[in-house]
Structure 1
């Protein structure tokens, strides 16, 4: 398989953007954060878009942008945590490139989200216990989609070198 693009998927706070930026320098490819791309394209924050348009409108707009970026080559794309779970997004990503699920335990995700500088609309205002419960519930809903990834990787164990080895073992890079 010739790999033209890599999609990083996983729950919010799993490190998709951080890994994507590091893979960019390792592979010499471009990096695109789908959330940042959304905000640039729509000239608003995701939080504001959610507040004004609602989640369903956001998911439709996100789907359109995902479809657009599948035409790019030599790019690593960090998706939003919910991106794989709507419409046929997971199938589109699997057809278009290598999908990697960065899997992390609930506790690690909660710690990362509690300490995050950026407030995410879906977890804003949740206490520690509420956040853990929310993550458990959302992961239960999303896991079936995430499990469709070409590669499922333990985000606590693998470093960038490990991800690069997995990518190179998965096929030829364009």
Structure 2
């Protein structure tokens, strides 16, 4: 049976949005990127939200928006890296749908994310990021399925479909 809701979790630059779009298309589901949804609703970039209101405010917004999508049908949801590392959010997602962790190593993160703009946590330095990545893995590992996020988005989506018993 195909789950009504699929949540993609993982660290920054793990490919959640890219894979999510491909997966949603293959399933004929709608796709939502929670970070983009928050930016649209707030009329500000995530970087602006962080600098004007702080990380705690942003995390609260993330959880509020997630709550709406816990009830939607036929949707693939790309979460922000911090939301998937929130134990309460993870438990809510696990209860409401299928949670998939796109796991990447630190080197892959650096390759993909080194030139990324608009990621407030990148300003805290590589040691902080590496420590954060390790810490978040504890909650990410609660996902139903873990896939290697280093592959091409199309291949990852196919692997996810296979793990659900779909061709």
* TM-score normalised to structure 2 length: 0.90
Cα distance change, pair 38–154 in 1 and its aligned pair in 2 (3 A) = same
Counterpart mapping for 1:45-56 below 5 A: 45-56=45-56
SS in 2 for 1:47: helix
SS in 2 for 1:85: coil
Which ranges of 4 or more aligned residues in structure 1 deviate by more than 6 Å?
none
Q: Distance in 1 between matches of 2:90 and 2:64?
A: 13
Superposed CA offset, 1:25-76 (max 9, x none) = 2111111000000011111111111111111111111111101111111111
Deviation at 1:119, TM superposition (A): 2.7
1:136 aligns with 2:135: no
Q: Distance in 1 between matches of 2:156 and 2:104?
A: 15
1:145 aligns with 2:145: no
Counterpart mapping for 1:71-90 below 5 A: 71-86=71-86, 88-90=88-90
SS in 2 for 1:152: strand
Counterpart mapping for 1:111-130 below 5 A: 111-116=111-116, 118-124=117-123, 130=125
Correspondence for 1:160: 154
SS in 2 for 1:163: helix
**Superposition CA RMSD, Å:** 1.9
Correspondence for 1:105: 105
In structure 1, list runs of 5 or more residues that go unmatched: none
Is residue 103–residue 154 contact of structure 1 (8 Å, CA) maintained in 2?
yes
Query: Aligned residues, how many?
Result: 166
* TM-score normalised to structure 1 length: 0.87
SS in 2 for 1:88: helix
Q: Distance in 1 between matches of 2:50 and 2:165?
A: 38
Deviation at 1:134, TM superposition (A): 2.8
SS in 2 for 1:62: helix
